[in-house]
Structure formats: structure tokens, C-alpha cells
């Protein structure tokens, strides 16, 4: 497995554990996180605040089903299950596009869709 894929794997593992320090260690200081049509965050501080939010409780369950890499870009797709405050669950599929810089995640574009 390439070093870039290992960083993405470590990042995903950090989300599964809600480990902010592990997640942030995978990012450049000027990281961007884009969820098209929803938000565009810049910098580690903003990223850290968005790791957990009031829409969901507890830890997500993320399963990566495929990861591909070309040059400085890693694409990961998979599923995520999160618990809502009303004790219900949301199941989603995702495709995350990671642009790497100096061995860290510099830009993340996340495409999410709820499974019905």
C-alpha cells in the first residue's frame, strides 16, 4: 500500500474512533474540506470543529470499499452509518477525493448520499 493510501486509511480510522488528534495529524495546516453545496472549510481549526456536530451522536461506522490512487490524489468510496440524536440511524454512501501534499491531506472533497 502506498504512503498516501496509508495516510487516508489512518484518517478514516481516526474518524471511526472520533480521535481528533489522529485525524488532524493527517492534514496540512491549510487543509480544505469541501462538501459541495453544503460547506467549504479552510484550515485545521475549522476542520477540527466539523469532525463532530449536533446532527449526529457518537462515533460513525465507516467502511471503505475501494481506494484508488493516481499521482497525488486518492479516492476512497464506501459506507458510513451514524446515529441521530433521536436514536435513529442514517446510512450513507460516500466518495471522498483526497489531494495530497508532502504526504498529508491538503484538500478533501466529500460526496455523500443518504441510502433510503
* pLDDT value of position 54: 77
Residue 86 backbone phi and psi in degrees, to 5: -85, 15
Distance CA 20, CA 28 (A): 14
* pLDDT value of position 56: 83
- CATH class of the domain defined by 3-114: alpha beta
* pLDDT value of position 42: 98
Contact 61, 80 (CB under 8 A): yes
Per-residue pLDDT of the chain (116 residues; tens, 9 = 90+): 999 999 999 999 999 999 999 999 999 999 999 999 999 999 999 999 998 877 788 889 999 999 999 999 999 999 999 998 888 999 999 999 999 999 999 999 999 999 98
Give the distance between the most distant pair of CA atoms in the chain: 43
pTM equals 0.94
Contact 84, 57 (CB under 8 A): yes
Amino acid at each position: 500500500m502506498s504512503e498516501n493510501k496509508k495516510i487516508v486509511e489512518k484518517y478514516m480510522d481516526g474518524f471511526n474512533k472520533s480521535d481528533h488528534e489522529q485525524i488532524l495529524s493527517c492534514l496540512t495546516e491549510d487543509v480544505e474540506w469541501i462538501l459541495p453545496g453544503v460547506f467549504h472549510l479552510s484550515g485545521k481549526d475549522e476542520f477540527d470543529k466539523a469532525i463532530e456536530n449536533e446532527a449526529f451522536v457518537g462515533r460513525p461506522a465507516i467502511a471503505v470499499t475501494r481506494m484508488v490512487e493516481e499521482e497525488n490524489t486518492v479516492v476512497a468510496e464506501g459506507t458510513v452509518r451514524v446515529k441521530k440524536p433521536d436514536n435513529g440511524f442514517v446510512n450513507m454512501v460516500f466518495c471522498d477525493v483526497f489531494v495530497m501534499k508532502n504526504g498529508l491531506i491538503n484538500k478533501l472533497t466529500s460526496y455523500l448520499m443518504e441510502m433510503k
